[in-house]
Structure 1
Amino acid sequence: MPERLPDVSVIVATRDRPGLLERAVASILRQDYPGHIECIVVYDHVDVRDLAIAVGPDRSLKLISNTHKQGLPGGRNSGAEVAGGELLAFCDDDDIWLPRKLRAQVERLADPAIGAVSCGLRLRGPGIDKERVLDREIVTHEEFLTDRIMEVHSSTMLVRRSTWAAAGPVDEGIPGGYSEDYEWLLRVSAHTPIAVVPQPLVIVDWHGGSFYFGRWAMIVEAQRYLIRKHPDLSHSRVGLARLRGQIAFALAAGNRRTEALRELVAVLGLNPREKRVLVILPVLLRLMTGERVLRMAQKRGKGI
């Protein structure tokens, strides 16, 4: 550990999940990190509720309202505005930090060339319990252009205040807040390599993306927004094919078959091996619904 331990502010955006929220906050305040931890719970346009959680020495708990646009991006930005720590972290309100998470990550940030650090995770939910840990200790911007790299989850991230300032806040303009974490990681990784502690130190409560079921038009607009905002995505044909494959899937699931077919042709032109083609075709041919395909993927701990 460095001689002087930096203060850490952890932002938990929430809406109305009190039991899960208390579990997440308790895991943050019970970290074995010997420095100060400030946990900021941001209530997203609902009444602020007290939490029955003990706050020990070198720990503080702040409960505030989201003063930004309703949704996860606005909640995270509201928390970052009032955070006092030199380091910023995020935790979804249904996830759990294992006790060593912050200590291991702060040790990695002792390297001044590193401005952000992630860690491995464990997916846990109905029918699934599996670790996802990267086999490397650095993730570059070029790798994020090619792949989302799901192991770098929002609940695993710890960044310097200077990194947050350079990358900018979470984008509140992305439609539905969809892929807001990936969009922010593209900006973070353009500023600094993201280090990885190769241990599963976060438990992600895997219940899939049912919130987005049926919101196919929003998904299409969000992914198109992402491509427009980050023209460097075109530097990777594989990465662009992945995003356009997601667009084609959502178009097919939303019964916009002509547009989906046109998008599918573009995907094949970019990368004939794009794996999403195999799930787009049965939806396009109306052999399966988009919801069914997505549920099948989520049972394996994956998305589309």
Structure 2
Amino acid sequence: MSELSLSPNTSGWRSDPAVWPLVTAVIPTKDRPQLLARAVQSVIDQDYPADIECLVVYDGTEPVMPEVRLREGRTVQVLVNNRTPGLAGNRNTGYLAAAGELVGSCDDDDEWLPGKLRAQVELLREHPRASAAASGFLYHYRGKDIPRLAELPVLTFADLLNDRHLEANASTYLIPRAELLTEIGLVDEQLPGSYAEDYELLLRAARLGDIVCVKEPQSRVYLHDSSFFASRWQTISDALAYLLERVPEFRQDPAGLARIEGQIAFAHAALGRRMPAARWALRSLRKSRGARQSYAALVVATGLVSADRVLATARRFGRGI
């Protein structure tokens, strides 16, 4: 724990523009000390007029205080995941230990841009019934920043069913902690491999209230070939199947369901399972001809192009599968 003290603002921030709430940033990490220091420093350096608590949660490794430059009104504490091993348990350990009225997350290989918290708190003030805030982001791949603006100012539950809306991701969202621990609920620790755990969480948040979005990028999300889920295709397939079970409303949105089924098809194709890949892809395309993941799966299933090459090409244009 740093020696700087916290003095949280505990009342009236939604209605009083002179009051700024304490924010807790949770950074889950494992064996990436240099990247972690960059992420923590980006939290410390926020242009935010109140205190920020940064909780670094280690999963299965010895906790080490990152080497960062502290300033007044900022604290850094290291914790150890005391829940289910993996990303979901890591995040929940931090959320449960947080003192902030608002909690956010920053993956240890990402960073927050300086104006993130100020812009999102101001937006939540303008929309007191919102369940969370998100924002545009910079998609960084192989040395290049690709701006991804928030497509919509407000995301509803129906919007998130229909499309992934990547502006709502683990390194952009900001959520009132009281709602996270009650009506919304913690990150689902049963989700296989914690894949898409932020998407599943935000779907639940959107059931409670709309998610408001700062249009301009407020985070930088780094995609690289060593990213945690880069080639864990079986885990991805299992997690997406679990997601479809947990969110039956996907059946009411053919395009949204086709997108998820196309992703499952691509995972099977990446694993060399041509017949399951074709079945999932055709099932998807019967619902929506616009499911680009299904076309990619069929191409990979032919063996003419590898899944890694398709994924790398998509990332160069700021996209995923």
Bucket of the pairwise TM-score, normalised by the shorter protein: over 0.9
Q: Deviations over 1:275-297 (max 9, x none)?
A: 22321222122212222222221
Query: Residue 167 in 1 paired to residue 167 in 2?
Result: no
Q: Deviations over 1:154-179 (max 9, x none)?
A: 11111112331211111111111111
SS of the residue corresponding to residue 251 of structure 1 reads helix
TM-score (norm 2): 0.90
Deviation readout 1:127-184 (Å, 9 max, x if unpaired): 5321101243111110000111112221111111233121111111111111111111
Give the alignment of 1:1-304 within 5 angstroms: 2-110=17-125, 111-165=127-181, 166-207=183-224, 210-304=227-321
Distance 1:299 1:208, change over 3 A: farther
Please give the alpha-carbon distance, in whole angstroms, between the structure 2 residues aligned to 1:116 and 1:268. 33
Residues 234-291 of structure 1: per-residue CA shift (max 9 Å, x gap): 1110000000001111112212222222212211221123222321222122212222
Measure how far apart 1:213 and its partner are: 4.4
Which consecutive unaligned segments of at least 5 residues does structure 1 have? none
- Indicate if the aligned counterparts of 1:233 and 1:240 stay in contact, CA closer than 8 A: yes
1:97-132: CA deviation from partner (whole Å, max 9, x where unpaired)? 121111111111113212211111111231532110
Percent of aligned pairs sharing the same letter: 40
Structure 1 runs of 4+ aligned residues shifted over 6 Å read none
State whether residues 233 and 271 of structure 2, in contact with CA within 8 Å, keep that contact through their aligned partners in structure 1. yes
Task: Report the CA distance shift for 1:214/1:102 in structure 2 as closer, same or farther (over 3 A).
Answer: closer
Q: Give 1:53's aligned amino acid.
A: V
Offset, 1:208: 5.1
Q: Distance in 1 between matches of 2:313 and 2:98?
A: 40
SS at match of 2:292: coil
Question: In the superposition, relative to structure 1, how do residues 276 and 135 fare at CA in structure 2: closer, same or farther (>3 Å)?
Answer: closer
- Distance change in 2, residues 1:9/1:192 (3 Å): same
**2:278–2:297 CA contact under 8 A, matched in 1:** no
Deviates more, 1:209-218 or 1:88-97: 209-218
Structure 2 unaligned regions, length at least 5: 1-15
Q: What is the aligned partner in structure 1 of residue 10 from structure 2?
A: none
Deviates more, 1:71-80 or 1:52-61: 52-61
One-letter code of the match for 1:71? G
Tell me how far apart the structure 2 counterparts of residues 139 and 97 of structure 1 sit (CA, whole Å): 21
Residues 45-68 of structure 1: CA distance to partner in whole angstroms, max 9, x if unpaired?
100112222322221111111111
Change in 2 beyond 3 A, CA 1:198/1:263: same
SS of equivalent to 2:224: coil
One-letter amino acid of the counterpart of residue 85, structure 1: G
Count of residues in Structure 1 that have an aligned counterpart in Structure 2: 304
Deviates more, 1:62-71 or 1:52-61: 52-61
Could you tell me whether the CA contact under 8 Å between 2:282 and 2:294 is conserved in 1? Answer: no
The 3 A distance-change label for structure 1 pair 115 and 272 is closer
Pairwise CA RMSD: 1.6
Distance 1:258 1:198 in 2: 41
